[in-house]
Structures are given as structure tokens and as C-alpha cells.
Amino acid sequence: MSGSAAGSDPRRDLKNYGLVTAAYWADTIADGAIRILVLFYFYERGYSPLELATVFAFYEVFGILTNLFGGYIAARFGLLSTLGSGLAIQIVALLMLGLAPDGLLVVGWVMAAQALSAIAKDLTKMSSKSAVKLVVPDDSQGRLYKWVAILTGSKNALKGVGFFVGGVLLTVVGFQTAMLILAVLVATALFGTVPFIHGGIGVADAKAKFRHMFSNTPAVNVLAAARIFLFASRDVWFVVGLPVFLRTVLGWTFWEVGGFMAIWVIGYGIVQASAPKLISRRTATSHAPNGRTAVVLAFGLALFPALIATALIVNFDPTLVLVTGLIAFGVVFALNSAVHSYLILAYADGDKVAMNVGFYYMANAAGRLAGTLLSGLLYQWQGLEACLWASTAFVLAAGLLSLLLPGNPVRRVVATAG
């Protein structure tokens, strides 16, 4: 199915998209809260930065596997099946942590719950992102760009809200009660959205084959490779290195660390949602972005982790450097991510959108996995500066790969659809 099919009901399509998005938002808040709850819970138990990174390893590994198989499942059985399954699995993951006896709350058990949480998050994300392609006509690329930016930006803003919610719940009600409250939130989303979604979003394709998961479109493959390095560049210092540095070196409290990271992610999401206006204003054009846009933004982003690392090495005030540097990095990174999120849908084959998106977010999860593990390893080895130099190298790699992207995705999409 490509764009809005002939004879479809635009009001029904928009309603379906709204319901899918609402479900995704609820799961996103829960996912962000779980991350902060688990991070601080195990930090208080004396785990090292590398051990903290290992706790999240299954989350990223299963994110890769979910996107690999999830795109095929969505194409074969319909996006509605992946959305409902994702929410249900998230409830199971939350109950595993919320109802477990104290003796079971060890690394292995939490890693297993994190694996289920990753499956849930990526199934709902893929369903929501793919749904945009199905309700926007192929000749409305500007609208597609705006809708993807709003969806992606709101998701990241709400993930920041989840960080804050996790910190508050951990302080007020404790780890396990917090998990049960989040389970109620996700269950409400499951039963309040999925039964009311009807039409094309749930349509299955009996001809879908698993081998179609691996894209034959060069632009999709290049963009996926660039995405690996782009997200590794963020997580290599943001996931473990930054929060541990703020807590142990600068002496920030859990509230301050969680609140700052929440505000950063919320601001990051707002910038993503505003990307179409910000980029068009900067480039004096109203056209949708292309491969050249991704190149310019990537090379511009590489400056920031390098400058932050240099400032720390020469003993500038670390609080000032990290706060201002992270804000600047977040703005440019958000623009990069928003452009990538649009380009994958612009490059995707109309009848294989779920599989193309699944393949792309499999690469996204691979980048997060590499960044997460390296964040703990490099921080424990050489501190935050090592994480920042690795971030610089990863962004430069993303920029070099982006040089291979086509300049006009709209033309390619129309040709494919025709």
C-alpha cells in the first residue's frame, strides 16, 4: 500500500493515525521512565559504569532483532498486530519488575525485562512511523516531512517526560510500585486505542517475504548505515558517561541529573518537531530536505563533541561546558534525526514501507547498542573526554556516508510508486 489508497476515507485514516500515535506516546513515557528507574536503581546498588551499560545491552540487542523481524511481521499480518503486541509485551515487562520478589531483582532478571521492553518499544515505534506513510499521498512530501517531524519530536519530548516521571516515581513510591503504575498507563493505552483502529493500517500482505526485509534500494541501505553512526555518536556519551559524570564528578543529585536529562530530551523533541520550519528558514527554501541536507547537518554536528572535549581538557568550567555544549549538540542532533526520519519514508518502497522502516530502525538500534556499550567502557577507561572523541568520529562517519545519498528523494519515490 502506498500513501493514501484510492477510495480510502481521509477522516478514518487520520483517526487511525491519531490512535496509533496516542498508543505510541503512552509507551514512550513508560519506556523513558523505565530507563531512569533501572539506571538509578542499580547505581544505588554500587554497579560500575560498564556494568550499568551491560544492564541495557539486552535492550539494544533485542531492539535490533525486533526491527529485523518486526517489519516482516507488520507486512505479513498488518500494523495493528505489531501495535497491539508491542503494548501487551510492555505490560508483561513492567509486571516482571513490579511483582518480582526482591531476590529476583538481579541483573539477569532485569536484563530479561529490558529485552521485552525493547521489543515492545520498537514494535509500537515501527507501527506508528509506518502508519504515517499509509495516510499521506505520495505527492505530498512536504506534508509527510511535517507529520514525521511532529511524530518523532513529540515522541522524544515525551521520552524526556518519562525520564522525569521515572525520577519522581522512584523518589515518591519506590522502584516496584513505580513499575505497576506504568503498567496501568500502558494497559489503558492498549484497551483505549487498538480496539478502535480500523481500515488500511491493519491490512496484511500475504505476499510479503522475509527476504524483502533486506532492502534492494541503495538509498535505504546508505541511510541505515549513516543512522548507525549517528545514534552511536549520541549514546556513546549520553547513556552512561554523562549521567555518571554529573553524579560522581560534579556531585549532582539524582533529581538534578534526571531533571536535566529530561529537560534536554524534551527540548530535543521540540526541536525535532520544529525541524521543517527551522531548516527551511536556514536554507531559505520550503522544499523537503534531501541527501545534501543530511551531509551538511552531520558535518556541522561533529564540531560540538570535539569542542566540548577540548574545553574539558583545558579545564574550562565543566558545568558550563556540559550544559551549554549539550544544548547545542542536542539542537543540531535533533535536526539530523528529523531529516533522517523523513528520508527513510521518502526513500521507502510504497508497498514495503513497514519492512524498509523495520530495516532502518534495526540499524538505529545497532547504533544505540554500540554507543551504549562504548559509553560504559570508554568512560571507565579514560573518562568522559574519550566518549566525546568517539562521538566526534562517529558523526564524521555518518557525514561521509551521507555523501552517497541521492539529492532528490521525492523524484525516486514517485518513480517507484508509478
Q: How far apart are CA 148 and CA 155, in angstroms?
A: 10
> Amino acid identity, residue 172?
V
Q: How far apart are CA 174 and CA 179, in angstroms?
A: 9
Q: What is the pLDDT of residues 238-256, one digit of tens each?
A: 888 888 888 888 888 777 7
Phi first, then psi: give them for residue 54, nearest 5 degrees.
-65, -35
Q: How far apart are CA 61 and CA 381, in angstroms?
A: 23
In terms of pLDDT, which residue wins out, 295 or 131? 295
pTM above 0.85, yes or no: no
Q: What is the pLDDT of residues 12-48, one digit of tens each?
A: 666 777 787 888 889 989 998 998 888 888 877 777 7
pLDDT of residue 216: 63
Q: How far apart are CA 342 and CA 353, in angstroms?
A: 13
Work out the number of other CB atoms within 10 angstroms of the CB of residue 205.
Answer: 17
pLDDT beyond 60 at 77: yes
Architecture of the domain made up of 10-202+211-417: Up-down Bundle (1.20)
Mean pLDDT value across residues 7-11: 57
As to burial, measured by CB atoms within 10 angstroms (0-12 exposed, 13-18 middle, 19+ buried), residue 336 is buried
pLDDT of residue 416: 31
Residues written for the chain: 418
Nearest to 274 by CA among 338, 201, 356: 338
Instruction: Answer for the pair 158, 25: CB distance below 8 angstroms, yes or no.
Output: yes
pLDDT of residue 415: 32
- Return all residues near 375 (Cβ < 8 A) that are at least 6 apart: 49, 53, 235, 236, 237, 238, 239, 240, 241, 387
| Eight-state DSSP code of residue 289 | P
pLDDT of residue 143: 61
pLDDT of residue 139: 53
